[in-house]
Chain A
Amino acid sequence: MDIQLQKVSYAYAKGTPFEKRALFDVELAIPSGSYQAIIGHTGSGKSTILQHLNALLKPTEGALQIGDRTITAGKKAKDLKPVRQKVGIVFQFPEHQLFEETVLKDIIFGPMNFGVSEQEATKRAHKLIELVGLPHTILEKSPFDLSGGQMRRVAIAGVLAMEPEVIVLDEPTAGLDPRGRKEIMDLFLQLHKERNLTTILVTHSMEDAARYADRIAIMHEGKCVLTGSPEEIFGNAEKLATYRLEAPRIVRFQRELEAKIGRRLQTLCLTEEELARAITAAVREERAGQ
């Protein structure tokens, strides 16, 4: 499902002395099936954009196209449920949204709100609990007896159970240990490929954006200032610095290495594996030339 933001502006508490503009004429097109990362400094408007993506917030100016629905400023949008079913959001610290007596009930809460039968929803829950790496026995436990990491996985399963076409992730790995982070991020990548989802990742982590996304947008002071592929975005360190962002560690390492050996590698590498390959290739080349 394509998502398109056309000159979207948003102001919190409009019409009071507390009014605060958070977005200014944001233009962003997210084609169906892409993995889009939105990065930016704290307070750049990332979270505000995210809440527009399934019409939790409506633009105060401009228009928003989600699939075949258009959401414009001022117009009362009736029945947003279909939109919300198609766009699932995993909020920051999603474990805070758990409330049911058992894990199973919490996972089927979402799908049942959208009219899925209890039987079908339970079937989905059994599949998903395995997918997020938890034992089936956990389904009968209270979500409040689980560890923080387990709660996070249950909450993610709860969003996935709605079988959305677009999945929006807001810092999904905040507060997890490195291994948990990688597992969760790999899970989303796997889902993205298997189910042909459109994935939108809102994050602070340049490493995650570089490793997983195929398109990146940079937010700065409420404006969408830069869009492009990870190579384009991270290849330009000076421009990144003006938005108070840093290239991922791998890119910085590559640049330092290049400065030291006095020659450039052929490609800009975004992961450790790519860099290792590029260095090996460069060494071979050097040897062959001698």
Chain B
Amino acid sequence: MMEKMIFGRFMPGDSFVHKLDPRSKLLFVFAFIFIVFFANNPVTYAGLLVFALLVIFVSRIKLYFLINGLKPVIILMVFTFLLHIFFTKEGNPIFEWKFIHVYEEGLRQGIFISIRFLVLVFMTSILTLTTSPISITDGLEVLLNPFKKLKLPVHELALMMSISLRFIPTLMDETDKIMKAQMARGSDISTGPIKERVKAVVPLLVPLFVSAFKRAEDLATAMEVRGYRGGEGRTRYRQLKWDGKDTLAMILLVAMTALLITLRS
């Protein structure tokens, strides 16, 4: 059930996108989330979509795999699309049948919003698919460093994030194991009436929480015996390296922003 999900998953590779510094990738995606909102006409939206597809192509991640893994998100997208189609009542009517009226503006809005959604999800998924969780947190820690002046516990936040990312697969495996053990005892979370399914959550969650707390305690002990005492004066084994590729990505970002601003109506 969960093996198809790609949210937050990392796929090692050696494409151009994989080799970028996490800092430039983070900056790029972060800025991208904002500039998507510059698009407001067919040319700019088409441009965004083409760009996202290009990035996917360069990252050598298969499109069908991406779409397969993002199924829940796509269902949400279709839902918003339908909402727009049926409830925007502006422009010329283009389709009428009994109580269903579709207007030009509704179709337009529906398509635009869907593209915006798709492009955002694609770009953020590409970020997590091509960057290992450890480099993401390393990159974030460096990028957030200036906020240390504002007494923000940057190192601790980054550590918390990397620990939680690290334990996602472990907890998923654990969930799978406990679910199977309870299924073998006749409690089934995936079939039967809703009431039964809700009841079947308790035998799953209690053991999961127990083991998560136990793991947290073990991890804290293990860190302490190895002398961990926060980020003060801590050096790094993995050094981040900014090179020509990253500068190129930043130039691309600026160019995209400029292009979007000129082409928007």
Interface set of A (CB-CB < 8 Å, partner B): 12-13, 15-18, 51, 54, 56, 81, 84-85, 88-89, 91, 94, 96-99, 109-110, 113-114, 144, 158-159, 162
Contacts and interface: CB of A to CB of B under 8 A. Distances in A.
A84 B186 contact: yes
Nearest to A98: B207
B211 interface: yes
Shortest 6 CB-CB contacts between residues of A and residues of B: A113-B186, A99-B206, A110-B185, A97-B181, A13-B3, A89-B184
B68 A16 contact: yes
Contacts of B182: 97
B187 A113 contact: yes
A109 B11 contact: no
A10 B65 CA distance: 20
Query: Counting chain A CB atoms within 10 Å of each CB, which of B183, B186, B206 scores highest?
Result: B186
A97 to B, nearest CB: 4
Interface in B182-201: 182-188
Contacts of B177: 91, 96
Interface of B: 3-4, 11, 62, 65, 68-69, 177-178, 180-188, 202-203, 206-207, 210-211
Given A109-B187, A159-B185, A97 B178 contact: yes
Given A16-B65, A99-B203, A99-B207, A56 B186 contact: no
A113 B199 CA distance: 11
Nearest to B61: A17
Contacts of A84: 183-186
Given A13-B3, A110-B186, A113-B186, 19 more contacts: A15-B4, A17-B62, A18-B3, A54-B184, A56-B183, A84-B183, A84-B185, A91-B177, A96-B211, A97-B178, A97-B182, A97-B185, A97-B207, A99-B202, A99-B203, A109-B187, A113-B187, A144-B210, A159-B184
Contacts of A15: 4, 68
A288 B211 CA distance: 64
Contact of B186 (A81, A94, A97): A81
Given A113-B186, A144-B210, A91 B65 contact: no
A51 B180 contact: yes
19 contacts: A15-B68, A17-B11, A17-B62, A18-B3, A56-B183, A56-B184, A84-B183, A96-B177, A96-B181, A96-B211, A97-B203, A98-B207, A99-B203, A99-B210, A109-B185, A110-B185, A113-B186, A114-B186, A159-B184
Contacts of B11: 17
A101 to B, nearest CB: 10
Nearest to B4: A16
Contacts of B211: 96
Contact of B181 (A16, A81, A91): A91
A84 B3 CA distance: 23
Contact of B185 (A17, A51, A113, A144): A113
B80 to A, nearest CB: 26
A16 B69 contact: yes
B128 to A, nearest CB: 15
Contacts of A56: 180, 183-184
A114 to B, nearest CB: 5
Contacts of B207: 96-99
A77 to B, nearest CB: 10
A158 B187 CA distance: 13
Contacts of B62: 17
A110 B181 CA distance: 11
B3 to A, nearest CB: 4
Contacts of A94: 181
Given A99-B202, A99-B207, A13 B4 contact: yes
Contacts of B178: 96-97
A91 B186 contact: no
Nearest to B184: A89
Contacts of B186: 81, 84-85, 110, 113-114, 162
A91 B180 CA distance: 9
B172 to A, nearest CB: 12
Nearest to A116: B186
B259 to A, nearest CB: 33
A94 B184 CA distance: 11
Contacts of B187: 109, 113
A114 B4 CA distance: 31
A97 B186 CA distance: 13
Nearest to B188: A81
A15 B182 CA distance: 27
Contacts of A12: 3
